[in-house]
Amino acid sequence: MKILGNIDRLDKEAWLLLLENGLFHIASALSDTFVNVYLWKIKHDWILISWFNFTHYLVGALTFILAGWLTKKVDRVIAVRLGVLMLSIFYVSVLFLGKQSVHYVILLGVIKGLGSGFFWMAYNVLYFEITERHNRDIYNGINGLIYSTAGIIAPFISGLIITKINHFTGYRIIFSISLSVFIAAVFVSFLFKRRHANRSYQLKKVIDLLKDKKNHWYWVSLAMVAQGLREGSFIFLIGLLVYVTTKSELTLGTYLTIASLVSLLSFYVVGKYLKPKRRNAFIFLGTLMMAFASVPLAFHVNQWTVFIFGVGSALFYPFYMSPLTSTVFDVIGENQDTANLRIEYVVVRELALTLGRLVSILLFIWWVNESSSLLHIRWYAFVIGFVQLFAWLAIRKVPLLAESFSRPNR
């Protein structure tokens, strides 16, 4: 198995976490993009979909704060279970509401935000506790492979089901499958070792670090804001642009499959060749090439330029995200004091990321309020396609950290 790197560095808990996150990726790959398309088919309204995603991110960030307290005082596995449970309720709600979903986008955004907040809070803490500096890049590479594999298979199946069956019945089928996968993830969460905790929750202490430019966390947080500026609107915009320009769920599913396939190849390269000393070079290459992928949109908007934009972004995203994630968590594990506040660091990281996402969506709402034509939207996509360069400029201020200290108790 050397093709994947030194996977013998991953223990049973790491593989279990990969399974849990894999189930999450499968359920999300089946339905996440198609939820936005589903809302679009019911009502052609960019702003309505934007508010759904805005609410999702806002509530998710607030939930992170609550989930951080719960993780600090009780156990991080409880938060995992609450997360997948709330995401299951989200899909039950969509199935129950059907075409009336467009009238309840704020409520649906709240439910999804609760689920995402609890799940990702617990996942990030588990990721930090289970991985170490010597195997974190390997874990990220394998996790990326799983993510991409799910993205290759699931969206094509979703597009095929929706196209071949009565469209809205097809949507109900894939939402039902996602619900089933999330329920399976609940059962997997019972296999994690429980860790009882009763420590003080010192969120303000980590937030105060943002005032000091000499602190590594200041630059990490700026990088997270820049990442959020790109992700906020692009997470739903790229898929919608593909659908709007092609009018086909099967084409959208095929695009997502192709994007995941090239991402799979990139994650393999990153997982095999990325070393800590190469992280800044990988991040720079990823940010620069993702920016260039948006250039064709400036000249014309059709299915081919949108495909180039989406697939090009997917190809170089692993070069950017894997080393960036490893660097961020290395800073959290810089010494015993930072590791003891790992939950607070994870919460502040999410708050910075969400700040960027919310600003991105608000900018998009303002932009499409002026004009919702594709010719107008392309300039927004072109400009936002370059903002991740600021993430590289910020994260390069963080030096390569020394070897890790002994790990905190799990």
Most confident of 50-64, 141-155, 163-177, 393-407: 50-64
Q: What is the DSSP secondary structure assignment for residue 278, as one 8-state letter?
A: G
| Residue 41, pLDDT above cutoff 60 | yes
* Residues 344 and 189 sit within 8 Å (Cβ to Cβ): no
Domain-by-domain residue ranges, the chain?
8-191+202-395
pLDDT band for position 356 (cuts 50, 70, 90): very high
Mean pLDDT of the 265-281 span: 83
pLDDT band for position 404 (cuts 50, 70, 90): very low
- Cα 371 to chain centroid distance, Å, stands at 28
Nearest Cα neighbor of 238 from 285, 287, 297, 284 is 297
| Residue 8, pLDDT above cutoff 60 | no
What is the radius of gyration, based on Cα positions, of the chain? 20
Question: Which residues, 6 or more positions from 96, have their beta carbon under 8 angstroms from its beta carbon?
Answer: none
CATH of domain 8-191+202-395: 1.20.1250.20
Question: Which residues, 6 or more positions from 176, have their beta carbon under 8 angstroms from its beta carbon?
Answer: 91, 95
Q: Beta-carbon neighbour count of residue 211 at 10 Å?
A: 8
| Residue 133, pLDDT above cutoff 80 | no
The H-or-E segment that residue 93 falls in is: helix 76-97
* Residues 34 and 256 sit within 8 Å (Cβ to Cβ): no
CA quadruple 172, 36, 20, 149: dihedral positive or negative? positive
Please give the pLDDT value at position 6.
54
Overall residue count recorded for the chain in this entry: 410
- Cα 167 to chain centroid distance, Å, stands at 27
Most confident of 87-91, 97-101, 365-369: 365-369
Mean pLDDT of the 191-214 span: 79
pLDDT band for position 7 (cuts 50, 70, 90): low
- Digit-coded pLDDT (tens) for 31-40: 887 889 889 9
The single residue listed with the structure tokens 């799910």 is 150
Please give the pLDDT value at position 71.
78
| Residue 296, pLDDT above cutoff 50 | yes
Read off the tokens for 194. Answer: 């429980």
Mean pLDDT of the 104-127 span: 89
Stronger pLDDT, 63 or 214, i.e. the higher one: 63
Dihedral, CA of residue 323, residue 407, residue 82 and residue 14, to nearest 10: 60
* Residues 232 and 57 sit within 8 Å (Cβ to Cβ): yes
Read off the tokens for 2. Answer: 């050397």
Q: What is the DSSP secondary structure assignment for residue 333, as one 8-state letter?
A: T
pLDDT band for position 104 (cuts 50, 70, 90): very high
Question: Which residues, 6 or more positions from 100, have their beta carbon under 8 angstroms from its beta carbon?
Answer: none
Mean pLDDT of the 298-314 span: 87
Nearest Cα neighbor of 149 from 267, 35, 290, 325 is 267
Mean pLDDT of the 161-188 span: 85
Task: Please compute, for residue 72, the number of CA atoms within 13 A of its CA located in the half-sphere on the CB side.
Answer: 20
Nearest Cα neighbor of 335 from 410, 409, 404 is 404
Mean pLDDT of the 135-147 span: 78
CA quadruple 135, 260, 256, 384: dihedral positive or negative? positive
Mean pLDDT of the 122-151 span: 78
To 10 degrees, what angle do helices 342-370 and 303-332 make?
160
Q: Beta-carbon neighbour count of residue 215 at 10 Å?
A: 14
CA distance 327 to 136: 10
Q: Where does residue 195 fall: left (phi above 0), alpha (psi -120 to 50 degrees), or beta otherwise? A: beta
Average pLDDT, the chain: 85
Stronger pLDDT, 133 or 177, i.e. the higher one: 177
